[in-house]
Chain A
Amino acid sequence: MVQGTKSDLDIRLDRKPPVRLVVEDLRVAYQTERGPFRAVDGISFEVAPGSVLGLVGESGCGKSTVVKALLRLLPETAKTSGRVLLDDADILTMDAKALRSARWNKIALVTQSAMNALDPVIRIGDQIVESIRAHEPVDRAAAMQRAADLFALVGLPPERLVEFPHQFSGGMRQRAVIAMALSLNAGLLLADEPTTALDPIMQDQIMSRIRHIQQSLSRSMILVTHDVGLVAENCDTVAVMYAGKVIERGPTLEVLNSPRHPYTMGLRNAFPRILEEGEARPPLISISGGLPDLFRPIPGCRFAPRCPFATSRCTSEEPPLSLTEGAHFSACHYQDRAEEFREAALKPGTWRKQELAS
């Protein structure tokens, strides 16, 4: 920990290496009465040790399903295939004992709803102590000391460790959940919309703290969000998901500044930014239409029905996620026309063809 003298526990935990995560052809289909719902349909990505991957997309794109699959938290009705390699061990096939030791110890999770992540009838400090002692052979006092350090780290007064979740405000609860997720200094932090429910000021404080910890301890992290601004500020690489697939992936700067997939272009346009003083209001451009029906197999590009540049090839033949340049991948048949598309995508008229459908 940053301040005070380090206990044996702190030293041991600080020495944990960051984790490399490789996801290969992950597929998740929820079995329902209407047949399989292909929430995640063959996605691959990699998180290099100590780096931050942004997983961005809108509701229903499958990003939260990916997070759950990485921890094997999906319900029994979900059929999962592919490989999730955590430092070469496949999470999807490991036995219960190995899984128990990987969870929290190697991968920690911060969820969106801090309300549901805490037990309402147990003091918050005791909940953190419990999670530490489940994985580390330390006494209660040492674990409580670590809990107090973690509270200080997320900006909560340690004397409030003895309180119950209902005595905390929403922002404080979210910070307590983050403290708990950091308690074992897991090599990979999965942050699923960690600040979505919070106000801008609280969001900024929490993201700064998470980023500081991630950088100083060189942790790997996946930040799942729909907020392009958070990705821009926090992630080294970004994967953009649409309807169960990664449609574009690469270094954040490149993907956001020179997107090669029309969906990413549209997402960037639709995302409001603070305008310069005296700048004329640019039109906010929405992407009309909705997600395709994931109960049925989709022959072509998933974005084709909403894409202003789609051709007949797009509706019949699925574009593979292929390397464009550097480490920038995109799943579009018309990679070579990306620059032309980017220019056209800035004009509202381009996107207006099926306005009524939104």
Chain B
Amino acid sequence: MSHDHGLPPKSSVSRWFLTTNHKDIGVLYLITALFFLVFGGVLALLFRLELISSGADLLGSMGYNQAVSTHGLLMVFWFISPFAFGFANYLVPLQIGADDLAFPRLNALSYWLYLFSGILMGVSFFQGTTFAGGWTMYAPLNTPAYIPGEGLGATSVVLALIMFTAAVTLGSVNFLTTMYRMRAEGLRMRDIPIFSLSINLTVWMMLFAFAALLAALMILASDHILGTTYFQYSIDGTTMATDADNPGASLLWAHLFWFFGHPEVYIVFFPALGVMAECFQTFTGRRLVGRKWFIISMVLVALQSFVVWMHHMFLTGINLPIKTIFMATTIGISLPFDLMVFSLIYTMAKGRVRFTTPFLFSLGALILFIIGGITGVFLGAIVLDYQFRGTTGSSPTSTT
């Protein structure tokens, strides 16, 4: 018997505004995330177009910085994770034998907060200038003192991020409750399919990582709206005084941001890893080799992801013992991934590998991941990391 929620049919527009059904919301997430992919993608096209000639003649220098910054924020926050959560909404209840998520209305609320936070991002473009301080939003460039004009657009971006974080946190609680309380009878946590397991670990990481981001964003919003100076030195007339009593302002942001930012790397990667593992099993006709160790590796990565953040800050003058610790944790976190890669490779052995489109994508992803993993280890060698720092994409995109 199909679930009758008393909703209008799918062909009716009102259905999509009223729905609390996990499949419907999954579809909404997928479509909305694709919209933000195009939004962020067009911004990327704009700033690549700007780079055709050396002068700032298309967007202007501030326009360029706005395009780069919001492109990064849209892709990282409003596209990648929500796209994965479209699949998670649709599939997790089916994979664990639940009727729906534990709190269907809360699930709808998560979606609508996500959508409205993204719309607020769009609105910020029409409020003078939007945020232009890079997707890592380093302090004090992210504070009103360094934002030309009224800074209203940048404030909207901060508020949009807070709203997005609220959506993520509600979603995390919802998924965790569902997975721990609503599995089919007799289904142990370790026995749920690997995609659902990857989502489980993703939401655990989200719950803690986004809390740090929320803290940082709330005091940043206070700097923007109430005029506090958490992330800048006190203003002495019109010049910034370096000898003011807040010398840790820049590093406060960097620590809070990267404490969120590194788990975020795995938050965006884990759902894809889960999809890869499912596709490998399905299209090779083999069970995942060393499944138990694959799962243990994922758990280790999820835990370790909270103790590697300072490898994004190797040049900030941190002392040698701390650098050494973070070098060790960085290398440490690459090892479970090694195991997962070999597990996927050996899953193909004695299989009947069908080269369908999903498998081609998964195999391509595995090969990219192998190359990315090898070059990622380069960054674990701190002397190399020093020089790669600040060059294209090295700090945010390395997976190790």
Are A and B physically bound partners? no
**Which A residues fall within an 8 A CB radius of B?**
none
Q: Which residues of B contact A (CB under 8 A)?
A: none
